[in-house]
Structures are given as C-alpha cells and as structure tokens.
Amino acid sequence: MKKKILIIGCQGHIGFSLSYFLKDKYEVIGTYNNNINKNTFYKLKKSRTKLLKLNVFNKKNINEILKKHKINTCIYCAGVPHDSFAKIQTRNTIIANCLGVDNFLELQKTNNFKFIYISTGSVFQNIKTSKKKIDETVIPSPISLYSMSKRLGEILIENSFIKNKISTSLRVSWVYGPPIINTKINVQRGPLPYLLTKLFYENRKKIVFRSGGDFEASFTYIEDVCLAVEKLISYKKFLYSTYHLGSGKNYKLFEVCNILNSLTKKQVIKMGSGFSPWTSDSVIRGPIISSRKQQRLKTHYTLRDGILNYINFLKST
C-alpha cells in the first residue's frame, strides 16, 4: 500500500511540482485555499491527485483530513512567499507562515505523521558579504515581516523536533523552473523565469537592460527541490531540525547572460552594471550550502543544465 503524502499549498510552484513529482510513488493529497490556477489545478486532477480545500487556520478541518486519509507525511508549502506580498498581507503572512504550522504540530501529538516545512534562505538578512557561504550553523538574522514569519515557523519546528525528531525545515533559495511562465517582472520569482520566458516562450530576439548584471543569487532548479524532499520523506527520523539545499555558489546575472548567449550562439541578452530591477525587497547574500555529514542533501543540476531543461519546457508549451 502506498504511503499517503499531504502537500499543503499544492497550487504554489513547489507544492505543485512536488505533487506531480511524487504521484507515482505515493498517494498524494493536495490542499489549496483561495487562489486557483486553472491550468495546474486541471493537471493535478488529471494526475489523480486528490484535491481538498483547506484554510490552515482551521484546526478542526486539518484534523479531519489527517484522520480520514491516514496521512504519513505532511509537506508544508503554503505561505505568503515574499516580502513584496507580506508587507500588504500582514495577517495572512502570520497565519500562513506561522499559525498554520503550529496547528499541524499540535495535531502531530494525536496523529502520527512526519512534517516537512519548506523554508527559505531569506531568514539570513544581515550577512555583510555575498562571498560568505551560509551553512546550517549560521544564526538566522531576519529583519522583514516575511523573513521573521518564516523564521518563527522554523522555531516552531525546532521545538517539535526536540520532542520527536519527526519534524524538520528545508531551506531553499531562488527556486526556478517549470511550470512558471513570467511575462512580467516578478521579483518574487527572481530574474530567470522572466528572462527565459521572454526569450524562449515569447521568442524575443534580444533583451537589453541598462542595469541588473550585478544581481547575484544561488539559483536552485525545481527538480532538485523535489529530489531533496523525496529523500527526506524516506527517513524514519530526521537527524536535524533544519536542512539546507543549495549549490553553494552564487551566479551574477552577467554569468547567466553568458550562459544564454553561449546556448543561442549569439548575443540575445545584455545587461549593464547595478542591481535594479531585481532587488526591491531582496537582500544580496551568500549562497546556502549544507555542512551535514549525515543525511546531507545535494543539488544535482548545474545552472546550465537547469536552464536547458527550463528552455525545453518553455519551447514545448
């Protein structure tokens, strides 16, 4: 009998990708709240994912789902995903990023399930240099409402982990890849989805920015996130309350431009110096990396390979 996986927030990028990625090995149940993307919703239904509406603030409803479906593992992908949204959705940010997590952890006492919280490298906001690699021993330094809410979610996980070793947080950073198509700049998604959409979905012959080339980040391909979560699911107990998934390397957009120009064998993209328009709410920090000796999570895709896969998706869509 297949294990039952509950993915909270299956309409988001990571939640959708995980639902689709895990559907053949597990019985996947996905929850959504108010925002529905008709395209991804249809794909999940077609893939036999059971879809349930859920407000993570409704503890009674959560308990009913856990008991009825006998859930083995919960993956918490729900949440307000970026500072630009958190500033105008303050109450939703606290509910989705903190109180919803607490509801599940409370119900863990009477329902035996593992809990994986998808967190973010954005909890590190006071790193003075982008050259410093950030492993799990670095103390988080949240400043904004978004980063503080995600950090509080992590602290709730840490408290639960001490008691039972079946709850953990997975920090990821600047995740990109299918099925995201960004026809407009969206700082939450980072620059890659926008640039690749323009070039390989809208077939723009050339993109020129006056600035932006100095922006840098540790980009993570979506399938690496799925593979890491699948590995965490396989553990009976977690050795750590927090895991990092990252390549350990930052890439400036100048380097991304070079990759894209080499793939097309012509100059299709050009950027000037500076950080705009990619940093309205984001801190340029060093790359996250894992220092774990056991249960270490690794990325498998190079930036070039991830970009190639993403391009193939955009061309076929």
Q: Mention every residue, 6+ apart, whose C-beta is less than 8 A from residue 155.
A: none
What distance in Å separates the CA atoms of residue 55 and residue 44, rounded to the nearest whole number? 19
Helix (H, G, I), strand (E, B) or coil at 249: coil
- State the residue for tokens 């926008």: 194
Q: What is the pLDDT of residue 39?
A: 82
Q: What is the pLDDT of residue 280?
A: 58
Which residues face 73 on adjacent strands? 5, 114
The CATH classification number of 176-217+249-287+301-316 equals: 3.90.25.10
What distance in Å separates the CA atoms of residue 282 and residue 290, rounded to the nearest whole number? 22
Q: What is the pLDDT of residue 47?
A: 84
Contact 103, 121 (CB under 8 A): no
- Geometric angle at alpha carbon 196, from 194 and 201, rounded to 5°: 100
Helix (H, G, I), strand (E, B) or coil at 167: strand
Q: For residue 19, give the nearest of 206, 11, 283 by alpha carbon.
A: 11
What distance in Å separates the CA atoms of residue 235 and residue 82, rounded to the nearest whole number? 30
What are 246-273's pLDDT values in tens digits? 999 999 999 999 999 999 988 899 999 9
Q: What is the pLDDT of residue 282?
A: 64
What distance in Å separates the CA atoms of residue 126 and residue 252, rounded to the nearest whole number? 20
Q: pLDDT averaged over consecutive 10-residue blocks of the chain (317 residues)?
A: 93 95 95 83 86 95 96 95 84 93 96 96 88 95 94 98 97 96 89 96 94 94 98 97 96 95 90 86 84 94 97 95
Q: Which helix (H) or strand (E) holds 253?
A: helix 253-264
Q: What is the pLDDT of residue 187?
A: 82
What distance in Å separates the CA atoms of residue 71 and residue 73, rounded to the nearest whole number? 6
How many angstroms from the chain centroid is the CA of residue 222?
A: 8
Q: What is the pLDDT of residue 283?
A: 72
Contact 80, 92 (CB under 8 A): yes
Q: Which two tokens stand for residue 299?
A: 């990325």
> What are the extents of the domains in the chain?
4-173+221-244, 176-217+249-287+301-316
CB atoms within 10 A of CB 99: 17
Helices marked H in 23-173: 38-46, 59-69, 83-86, 90-94, 100-107, 145-164
Instruction: Using DSSP bridges, classify how beta strands 251-252 and 216-217 pair: parallel, antiparallel or unpaired.
Output: antiparallel
Contact 107, 56 (CB under 8 A): no
Which CATH architecture describes the domain 4-173+221-244? 3-Layer(aba) Sandwich (3.40)
Q: Which amino acid is at 10?
A: C
Contact 136, 291 (CB under 8 A): yes
Q: Which two tokens stand for residue 285?
A: 């920090």
Q: For residue 170, give the nearest of 161, 182, 180, 179 by alpha carbon.
A: 161
